[in-house]
Structure 1
Amino acid sequence: MKASSSLCALLIGLFTFSAQATIEINDPYARATPPRAPNSAAFMVLVNSGDKSVNLVRAATPAAGKVELHSHVMADGMMKMRQVENIAIPSHGKATLEPGGLHVMLFDLAAPLKEGESLPLTLHFSDGTEITQSVPIRKTIVESKMKHSHDNG
């Protein structure tokens, strides 16, 4: 009887594991900041090799007081950042987080983000997967000369 319950627990464990998406994080980086800049952003490509779609639902880092998932939208002729509840990653697909698009916004930085350093970033997914990665900090050129406005509404 004991072997039967052990086998059952093993099968349940395998089923639970196989139901989760397999997420890979490619080319992550955070934007370096000037000395007193309070905010930055992190970018990456999230690849889902699993059979079920999954959503990025939250991100966290001790380097920032607040972390939000964001998108850019054109509104009234201006590009505005908007918080989003989640970022979908389709099964056998990817979500690209890039400047001017979806990204992880880092608010109230504890210290400037310096090129060549890195920060820990934890990503939380809708299937319970949690990934912590050391994200390199890069100096980047501002990609656009469009007017930008930040709007949390």
Structure 2
Amino acid sequence: MRRLAASAAALALGALALTGCGSSGSSQSAGAKPELKVSGGYVPQPAMDDMAAGYFTVTNTGGADDQLTGVTSDVASDVTMHRTQSNAMQEVKSFSVPAQGKLVLSTGGNHLMLMGMRKKPTVGEKVSFVLHFAKSSPITVNVPVEPATYRPKG
């Protein structure tokens, strides 16, 4: 009986050791969390009164992936997320924010569409966004309204 218990304990320890070495297809460790920071945000002054676009970068320096699952704004009744592929805009429900990576929203690529504008923002004003994530707490950012021709450096 004692030998059976010792064998079972050895098997359990071996299984634990193998579990620690196993690959789940991800480099994320069990206690890893996303660590998010938003930068470079702006809204080009819209040409129309009822719609605008929004851009920013979310950098994740943490050890776990996250997802941007929604955005709200003080100037629009609805904010949707869009992916641009082959010159076609497609609404998406979320964007991935990879561990040790970035989510970039930019002209001609992934972006926000602000619909049902309460007031047309003008150059020099700020627009507030609340970014909602699958794992992380919401992040509020205030971004400047830039001229329609603005293109960020770098």
**Superposition TM-score tier, normalisation by shorter sequence:** 0.7 to 0.9
Aligned counterpart, 2:83: 71
* Distance in 2 of aligned mates of 1:73 and 1:139: 25
Aligned counterpart, 2:101: 93
User: Counterparts of 1:1-153 in structure 2 under 5 Å?
Assistant: 19-34=32-47, 36-74=48-86, 79-141=87-149
One-letter identity of the residue aligned with 2:82: H
Matched position secondary structure for 1:26: strand
One-letter identity of the residue aligned with 1:67: V
Count of residues in correspondence between the two structures: 121
One-letter identity of the residue aligned with 2:60: N
**Is the contact between residue 44 and residue 150 of structure 2 (CA under 8 Å) also seen in structure 1?**
no
CA deviation vs aligned residue, 1:49-101 (integer Å, no higher than 9, x gap): 11001110000012001111111122xxxx22111111111101101100111
Radius of gyration: which is bigger? 2
Matched position secondary structure for 2:109: coil
**Is the contact between residue 66 and residue 136 of structure 2 (CA under 8 Å) also seen in structure 1?**
no
Equivalent pairs: percent with the same residue?
24
State TM-score, norm by structure 2: 0.73
One-letter identity of the residue aligned with 2:54: A
**Is the contact between residue 26 and residue 46 of structure 1 (CA under 8 Å) also seen in structure 2?**
yes
One-letter identity of the residue aligned with 1:72: T
**Is the contact between residue 64 and residue 108 of structure 1 (CA under 8 Å) also seen in structure 2?**
yes
* Distance in 2 of aligned mates of 1:142 and 1:25: 19
Aligned counterpart, 1:150: none
Matched position secondary structure for 1:52: coil
Runs of 4+ in structure 1 displaced over 4 angstroms? none
**Is the contact between residue 44 and residue 149 of structure 2 (CA under 8 Å) also seen in structure 1?**
no
* Distance in 2 of aligned mates of 1:22 and 1:131: 11
User: What's the CA shift for 1:129?
Assistant: 1.7
**Structure 1: gaps spanning 5 or more residues:** 1-17, 144-153
* Distance in 2 of aligned mates of 1:106 and 1:61: 8
Q: CA RMSD in A?
A: 1.7
User: What's the CA shift for 1:21?
Assistant: 1.3
One-letter identity of the residue aligned with 1:45: T
Change (3 A) 1:20 1:62: same
**Is the contact between residue 24 and residue 46 of structure 1 (CA under 8 Å) also seen in structure 2?**
yes
State TM-score, norm by structure 1: 0.73
